[in-house]
Amino acid sequence: MRLFKLRVTYKDGEQSNPWTVFAESFSEAAGRVEQICGTDKTLSILTQEVPESEALWWGRNYKAPNGLVAQYEDVAWDQHQKH
């Protein structure tokens, strides 16, 4: 399992705050987030792999991956620290 960070761009032009999800591939991660956001509302999903060294910053742990799909309302896509 790999940890991915994702950002959704909606058809109305709005962009989501970051999401994280453990998945086997980029496409699986995007598909899981798209199910939550709604395929009819989603224009695109930007996906980046999160290195193990950064996982704890997101509150995630490579040693204990789970099915949680988490959105971070208090974090911007390019932030390295929560505010």
13-32: string of b/e by CB count within 10 Å (b at 16+)?
eeebebbbbbbeeeeebbeb
- Report the candidate in 44, 79, 36, 31 with the shortest Cα–Cα distance to residue 58: 79
pLDDT band, residue 80 (cuts 50/70/90): low
Query: Is residue 60 a part of any domain in this protein?
Result: yes
Q: Answer whether 0.95 is exceeded by the pTM.
A: no
pLDDT tens digit string along 15-41? 999 999 999 999 999 999 999 999 899
Query: Is residue 82 a part of any domain in this protein?
Result: no
- Residue-range definition of the domain harbouring residue 26: 2-71
Q: Is the per-residue pLDDT at 79 higher than 80?
A: no
pLDDT, average across residues 61-73: 94
Could you tell me how far CA 60 lies from the centroid of its own chain?
12
pLDDT band, residue 76 (cuts 50/70/90): confident
User: How many structural domains is the chain composed of?
Assistant: 1
Could you tell me how far CA 64 lies from the centroid of its own chain?
17
